[in-house]
Amino acid sequence: MQRSFPTKVIIDTDPGVDDALAILLALASPELEVVGLTTVCGNVPVGQATKNLFRILNLAKTPPGLLVGQGAARPLEEDLVTAEQVHGNDGLGELDSVLTDEGTPRYPQVRLPSVLSTAQDVWNECVRRYPDEVTLITLGPLTNVALALKVNPLTVQKFRSVIVMGGALGVPGNIAPAAEFNMYVDPHAAHRVFQAALPLTLIPLDVTTRVGVTRAVLRAWAAESRDPLGRLATDMTGKAFAFAEKIEGHGRVYFHDPVAVLTAVDSSLLRMEPLHVAVEMVGRVSRGVTIADRRARTPEETASPNMRVAVDVDVERTLSLLRSRLCPWS
Ligand code: RIB
Ligand code: CA
Q: Is the CB of 13 under 6 A from ligand 1?
A: no
The one-letter amino acid code at 180 reads E
Return the pLDDT at 2: 58
Closest-lying ligand to the alpha carbon of 203?
A: 1
Neighbours of ion ligand 2 (CB under 5 A): 14, 16, 19, 139-140, 257
Asked whether residue 83 is domain-assigned, the answer is yes
- Quick one: average pLDDT of 134-148? 98
Q: Among 47, 79, 48, 39, which residue's Cα sits nearest to residue 185?
A: 79
Asked whether residue 217 is domain-assigned, the answer is no
The Cα–Cα gap between 276 and 180 comes to: 17
Return the pLDDT at 3: 64
Q: Which helix (H) or strand (E) holds 278?
A: strand 277-279
Q: Is the CB of 14 under 6 A from ligand 1?
A: yes
CATH number of the domain that residue 64 is part of: 3.90.245.10
Asked whether residue 95 is domain-assigned, the answer is yes
Structural Rg of the chain based on CA atoms = 19
pLDDT per residue as tens digits for the range 142-196: 999 999 999 999 999 999 999 999 999 999 999 999 999 999 999 999 999 999 9
Question: Based on the structure, what is the number of domains in the chain?
Answer: 1
Q: Give distance in angstroms: CA of 22 to centre of ligand 2.
A: 9
107 Cα distance to chain centroid: 22
Q: What CA–CA distances, in Å, run from 29 to 33, 113, 144, 217, 289?
A: 8, 26, 25, 22, 32
Q: Is the CB of 139 under 6 A from ligand 1?
A: yes
Active site residue 256: yes
How do strand 67-70 and strand 117-118 relate by DSSP bridges?
A: parallel
Binned at pLDDT 50, 70 and 90, residue 212 comes out as very high
Q: Residues 203, 260: contact at Cβ < 8 Å?
A: yes
Asked whether residue 222 is domain-assigned, the answer is no
Asked whether residue 153 is domain-assigned, the answer is yes
The Cα–Cα gap between 77 and 96 comes to: 33
Best of 256, 289, 290 to mutate for ligand 1, by most ligand atoms within 8 A of CB?
Answer: 256
- Quick one: average pLDDT of 232-258? 97
Best of 11, 17, 18 to mutate for ligand 1, by most ligand atoms within 8 A of CB?
Answer: 18
At residue 56, the 3 state secondary structure works out as: helix
**Is the previous residue joined to 187 through a cis bond, with omega within 30 degrees of 0?**
no
Best of 24, 257, 263, 289 to mutate for ligand 1, by most ligand atoms within 8 A of CB?
Answer: 257
Q: Residues 201, 271: contact at Cβ < 8 Å?
A: no
- Quick one: average pLDDT of 38-57? 98
Return the pLDDT at 329: 78
The Cα–Cα gap between 265 and 189 comes to: 26
**Mean pLDDT of all residues belonging to the chain:** 96
Quick check: 302 pLDDT over 70?
yes
Q: Residues 159, 166: contact at Cβ < 8 Å?
A: no
Quick check: 226 pLDDT over 90?
no
Asked whether residue 169 is domain-assigned, the answer is yes
The one-letter amino acid code at 318 reads T
Quick check: 1 pLDDT over 70?
no
Which residue would you say has higher pLDDT here, 302 or 259? 259
- In which domain, by residue range, is 102 found? 7-206+254-318
Q: Is the CB of 16 under 6 A from ligand 1?
A: yes
Binned at pLDDT 50, 70 and 90, residue 62 comes out as confident
pLDDT per residue as tens digits for the range 260-285: 999 999 999 999 999 999 999 998 89
> 65: number of CA atoms within 13 Å, CB side?
7
Binned at pLDDT 50, 70 and 90, residue 330 comes out as low
Q: Which of 188, 191, 256, 276 is catalytic?
A: 256
Q: Give distance in angstroms: CA of 103 to centre of ligand 1.
A: 32
Asked whether residue 50 is domain-assigned, the answer is yes
The Cα–Cα gap between 96 and 148 comes to: 34
